[in-house]
Structure 1
C-alpha cells in the first residue's frame, strides 16, 4: 500500500483506526527489554494460543466480542513490576505475570471480566490494591508525551501508529515553509532532552540559515549513562515517532538524509527501528517525493560500539564518519560544519519524540506544561532504593519529593532517604534539603546538578556517598577518550584518591587535592562530558563532606559499606555463646566461654566476614 498524498494518509489512518476498534479485547504484553528478559514473549505466545478460539465464551461484553487481539508492546514503564499485561477495555494491569498465570487470566478476566487481585499492583506502604492501571499512583502522577504510545501500540505495526495520528505531523509540516516549522519549535520553548537543555528551535535555525546544498540531521540514541534507558524505551516502543520527528527536523533545516545513531547494546531497538524504516519505505512515507511533495528523505541506522563519549555530538559524528569517537573543538559548531563538513543538526531521541505533537497541537499547548523556561515534560529512569523503579514521564517543575514519593512510591523497606544522583555521571548528588527543588534545567544548574539524559538513582540511609562518587568516577575514567590531558589524567588521579579513601588509607590533604583536580578537569576539558565528569565528586564533597572526613580521620564508613573500614563487634544481647564464630575465625580474634557472650578483638580482626556468615543468631554486627 503506497501513501502518496495527505488524502491517502487520512484514508490509511481511518482504516487502521477501524481495525483497532474491531478488536473488542486488546491484550498488551510489555515487550520492552526488561520484560522480554523476564519471559514476556513466552507469556504472549501462551495468551495467543489460549485466546484463539474463545470469542463466543466472552460474557462481559454486552454486544458480543468481535475479536481478541494479543499484542506485544513497548515498555510500559513499570519495570519493577514486570512482566506486565494490560487488558482493554477493562484497563486492568497485571504485574509480575508468569506463563502459569495465563490460564487463570483467560478464564477469569478475558472471559468473565473479573479481576484477579493477586496479580494486581499492591502499594508497598499502604497495602492498597490497584487493579486499574490509570489509578496506580505510579501512572496517575505522570503526563506522557514522548511515551504516549509506549505500552499502548504494537511498535512493529505501522498501521497502529497511523491510527494514533502517525505521520500526520510531517504531513502538516510539509504544507508550511521551513521557517514556519522552525518558528513553531522556537515558540514552544522545547529544549534538548539529552543533557544541557539547549533550545531546539535555535539549533534548527542555525542549520536552516546555512546556505549549503547538502545538510544532515542526526538522532542521538547513544544513551550511555549507568541506569538510564529512556531513549532505548522510546526507540523500542515507538520507533515511527522517532523517525517522524527526524523527518520534520530534516524538512525544517533542509536536510535530505537522517542518521539514527544507536548503540549496538540495544539490539531490540535496532531491530524495531530497522523494521519501522523498511515499513515506512514500503508505504511511501520515506524515500522520494513524500506525500506527493518535493521533499525526499532517507534514514540510515548507525550502530555505535558503546563508547560513552560518543554521546557527545562531535564524537558521535566522528564515529559515523568511520573515525575514532573523539570530540572536536567548537566552533565551528555542527550546524556550521558537521558531518563530512556539512551543516548538521543533532537532537536526542526524546527531543525528537516531542516534535510531532508540538507540530500537531501547537506551541501554546506545549507551553502549558512544565515551567516558563523549561516547558513540556521529561522522562526519567528512576532506579535504586525506591519502591517503584522504572521509566516515568512528568511535567517539568515537579519536585524531587513528588517524583520519589508520589510516583516512585517512596524509599524501599521504609528506610530514610539519603540522596539522589541525577543526570548520571555528568550530573550531581542532591540531598534531603533538595527534596522540594523543582526538576527543571535552571533550578538544577543553580545547585551544581543537571537533568542530563534523565537518570535518577535514589539512595537510602545505608548508602556510602564516597563509594558512590568512586563508582561514577571509575565509570568516567574508563570512558574518557583520552584526548584531553586534564580529563585523561585528572579523572585517573581522582579515582586513585577516592580508592585510597574507601580503602582506609586516605589523608585530609586528599580531600583538598580532590577539589583542586576536579576544578581543573571541569575548566580544562574539551567536551561537555569531560567538563561534567567531576560533578558527582564536587556535589558529594559539598553536601557530604563530613562523610569524607569520617573515612579519612575516623577510618570509619558511616554506612558500613566500605570493606576496609568495617569494624565488627558481637552484640551481647543476641549472642548465645555457641562458639561457631570463634571456630571459623582464621586469626583467633574471637574468644569466650560456651553459653556466654563472646568477645571480638578488633585489633586482631582482619574483617574477612567469616564470623558473620557462621553466626546463626545475627549477633556479629558492623559497629
Structure 2
C-alpha cells in the first residue's frame, strides 16, 4: 500500500512537453531517496487542462502541479514526497490556499466545477495500460451484466430510453441505429468504431483512447451482443501513435482476461476487435468511406440507401459509432437510462465533450451537460478571451460547422439549437475567435481544408468547393465584387443539395454562417477594400503613429526589406510600397506606435 500516488499526464499534449522525461526523473529521484515502497508513479491520460501541461497530481493531498519541467522534479520529491511540504510555486494557482500546506479541490476551481465527466470519467484517473485499474473502477461490469442478465433487445431498449445520440456529428439516436442492425438477419454482422478524428482543433476521441481505451472495447462488445455481431473494428488514424499503442495493449489484455474472444463470461457470446489504421483522409470520417477503407479500398463514400445497418462493411449489416458515443455506453448500462436522461435537454440527453481552443485562456477538454451555454464554456470554464481582446465568435463542428457570434452566446448548446443558428455540434471542436479574427479569412481557411480533403468522387464537391475558394481568395485579395457575394451564396446552396456525402453537403456551412452573421465584413472587403480585423494582408497596411513614435530606430533595424525610414529621436515612416507586411516592426516596437489598418 503506497502512501502517495503521483499521477502524471501521459496524453499527447503533455508527452510533447516532456512528461515522459518527467516520469523517468521521478522514478530516479524516488529511488535515490529510498521511497520506492512508499510512492507510486502512475502514467495517466489527459487531465483536461491542456493549457497548463505537463500536469502532475499528488494524492492524497490532491496537489495539482502545472507546467512542470524535468528540472522541477528533484524539488517536488525532496520537499513534497519526502518532507510533506507542498511546492506552492508549481501549483495551479486556482488551487492555492494562502498560508496553508493544503490545497483546494479541483472540483472547486472554475475550470472543473461546472463540468460533469461521464465520457472522460477515467481520463487522468487510471493507468490506461493496466486493465486491473479499469476493472477497479467498475470496468467490464456492464458487459458482465448484459451477458448474464439481459437480452439483446433489453440492451437496445436501455440505450434507446437513455436518449443517447451519436457524438460524431449528425446526432442520430444510437438505440435506433442498433435496432435497425439487429432486425436485419445475416450470417455475419460488424461493429465499427470511428476514431478517425479529422476536424482541425478536435482531440476529444484521441484523449479518450489514450486515457480510457477499455471503455471503448467494453462498449463495442455490448453493441456486438445487442445486434448479433461477432467482430469489431476500430478505425483509428495512424497520426495517433499513443492511442494506437494503448488500444493494442488494451485489446491484448482483454483477450488474455477472456473479455474478448470466445465464450466471454462463460456464455455463448463470441466477440473480438481488430485495429485498422487510417492514413489521415478527412473523408474517411464519413461512415461509408470509412467502411470502404477498412475493406482495403480507396476511402470514398457510397450512395445511401442501402444504409450500413442493412449493407455496410463487406456488404453485411454494420453499426458505426464514434469513440465518445461508446464511452457513455457502459455507464448507461450500469446506472440506468433514467440516470443518463436526467442530464441535458429534452432532445439532447447526457453530456458533451468539447475541445476548447483558439483565443481562450484555458485550452483543453471540457465535458458539460447538454444545454450549457457558450458563455458558460468560454467565460467561466475557459477563463475568457485573453490579452484584453473581446469575444467575436466560436466555430463548432469544424469544417462542417458554422460560426456562433457573440449575440448567440446565451443559446443552450445542443444538437437542435446549434442547427437553428446555422452551426452544428460536429464531433466537438470549439474554436474561440476574438476581435483580431477576420471572418472571411476563417471561411477561407476551412474551405482550403475541404478542398484538400475532398475525395473527388462527385462533381459538386470536387469542383464546387474549388470555385467557392476562388471567390473567397478574390475577396480577401481586394478584387471581389458584390456579385461575388451573391454567387457565393448561390454556389453554397447548390453544394448542400447536390453533393454525394456529408463532406460536400456541409462544406458551405462556414461560408453561410459567416455571411449570415458577419456580412458587413464581406462588404467591407469588397466595397472599401478593407479588412476590418486587419488580418488579410492584401487589404492591410502598417502605419507608425507620429505622436507615439520615439524615434528609437528599433523598427527600422528589424525591418527585413528596409521599408522604414527616419532619424534618431524623430518619428519614423513606413513605405507601404516596400512593406511586405511581416509584422516584425509591430512586434519589436516597445511604445505601441505601430498599427495595422
TM-score scaled by structure 2? 0.95
Check whether the contact 1:91–1:134 (CA below 8 A) recurs between aligned residues: no
Separation of aligned partners in 1, 2:581 and 2:296: 50
Check whether the contact 1:33–1:268 (CA below 8 A) recurs between aligned residues: yes
Shift of 1:114: 2.9
User: Which residue is 1:168 aligned to?
Assistant: 141
User: Which residue is 1:51 aligned to?
Assistant: 30
**For 1:153, which of 101, 111, 126 is the aligned residue?**
126
Change in Cα spacing, 1:611 to 1:485, as seen in structure 2 (3 Å) is same
Check whether the contact 2:396–2:425 (CA below 8 A) recurs between aligned residues: yes
Change in Cα spacing, 1:34 to 1:611, as seen in structure 2 (3 Å) is closer
Check whether the contact 1:90–1:113 (CA below 8 A) recurs between aligned residues: no
Shift of 1:275: 0.6
Change in Cα spacing, 1:387 to 1:606, as seen in structure 2 (3 Å) is closer
Separation of aligned partners in 1, 2:13 and 2:551: 47
Check whether the contact 2:62–2:103 (CA below 8 A) recurs between aligned residues: no
The SS at the match of 2:387 is helix
Separation of aligned partners in 1, 2:155 and 2:232: 17
**For 1:94, which of 35, 46, 65 is the aligned residue?**
65
The SS at the match of 1:300 is strand
Change in Cα spacing, 1:589 to 1:151, as seen in structure 2 (3 Å) is closer
Check whether the contact 2:549–2:572 (CA below 8 A) recurs between aligned residues: yes
Change in Cα spacing, 1:614 to 1:53, as seen in structure 2 (3 Å) is closer
User: Which residue is 1:80 aligned to?
Assistant: 51
Check whether the contact 1:74–1:236 (CA below 8 A) recurs between aligned residues: yes
Check whether the contact 1:258–1:298 (CA below 8 A) recurs between aligned residues: yes
Separation of aligned partners in 1, 2:73 and 2:574: 54
184-193 or 68-77, which deviates more: 68-77
Separation of aligned partners in 2, 1:348 and 1:579: 56
Matches within 5 A, 1:432-581: 432-577=406-551
User: Which residue is 2:245 aligned to?
Assistant: 271
**For 1:235, which of 185, 197, 209 is the aligned residue?**
209
The SS at the match of 2:403 is strand
**For 1:119, which of 80, 90, 93 is the aligned residue?**
90
Shift of 1:257: 0.2
**For 1:68, which of 39, 60, 63 is the aligned residue?**
39
Shift of 1:115: 2.4
Q: Please say if 1:141 is aligned against 2:120.
A: no
Check whether the contact 1:327–1:527 (CA below 8 A) recurs between aligned residues: yes
Shift of 1:213: 1.8
User: Which residue is 2:156 aligned to?
Assistant: 182
Q: Structure 1 stretches of 5 or more lacking a match?
A: 1-21, 57-64
Change in Cα spacing, 1:619 to 1:362, as seen in structure 2 (3 Å) is same
Separation of aligned partners in 2, 1:206 and 1:362: 22
Shift of 1:567: 2.1
User: Which residue is 2:372 aligned to?
Assistant: 398
Q: Please say if 1:294 is aligned against 2:268.
A: yes
Check whether the contact 1:121–1:130 (CA below 8 A) recurs between aligned residues: no
Q: Please say if 1:407 is aligned against 2:384.
A: no
Check whether the contact 2:61–2:103 (CA below 8 A) recurs between aligned residues: no
Check whether the contact 1:388–1:408 (CA below 8 A) recurs between aligned residues: yes
Change in Cα spacing, 1:254 to 1:586, as seen in structure 2 (3 Å) is closer
**For 1:244, which of 194, 218, 230 is the aligned residue?**
218
Change in Cα spacing, 1:570 to 1:349, as seen in structure 2 (3 Å) is same
Separation of aligned partners in 2, 1:609 and 1:136: 38
Shift of 1:553: 1.1
Separation of aligned partners in 2, 1:27 and 1:588: 55
User: Which residue is 2:350 aligned to?
Assistant: 376
Change in Cα spacing, 1:568 to 1:267, as seen in structure 2 (3 Å) is same
User: Which residue is 1:307 aligned to?
Assistant: 281
Check whether the contact 2:423–2:509 (CA below 8 A) recurs between aligned residues: yes
Separation of aligned partners in 1, 2:561 and 2:188: 73
Separation of aligned partners in 1, 2:566 and 2:3: 73
User: Which residue is 1:341 aligned to?
Assistant: 315
Separation of aligned partners in 2, 1:610 and 1:74: 39
Check whether the contact 2:531–2:539 (CA below 8 A) recurs between aligned residues: yes
Check whether the contact 1:117–1:131 (CA below 8 A) recurs between aligned residues: no
RMSD over aligned CA atoms reads 2.3
Change in Cα spacing, 1:569 to 1:114, as seen in structure 2 (3 Å) is same
Change in Cα spacing, 1:583 to 1:250, as seen in structure 2 (3 Å) is closer
Separation of aligned partners in 2, 1:164 and 1:24: 20
Q: Deviations over 1:446-499 (max 9, x none)?
A: 111111000000011111111111101100110001111111111101111111
Shift of 1:32: 0.1
Q: Structure 2 stretches of 5 or more lacking a match?
A: none
Change in Cα spacing, 1:376 to 1:107, as seen in structure 2 (3 Å) is same
Shift of 1:104: 1.6
Shift of 1:122: 2.6
Change in Cα spacing, 1:130 to 1:572, as seen in structure 2 (3 Å) is farther
Q: Please say if 1:109 is aligned against 2:77.
A: no
- Count of aligned pairs between the two proteins: 592
Check whether the contact 1:318–1:326 (CA below 8 A) recurs between aligned residues: yes
Separation of aligned partners in 2, 1:296 and 1:101: 49
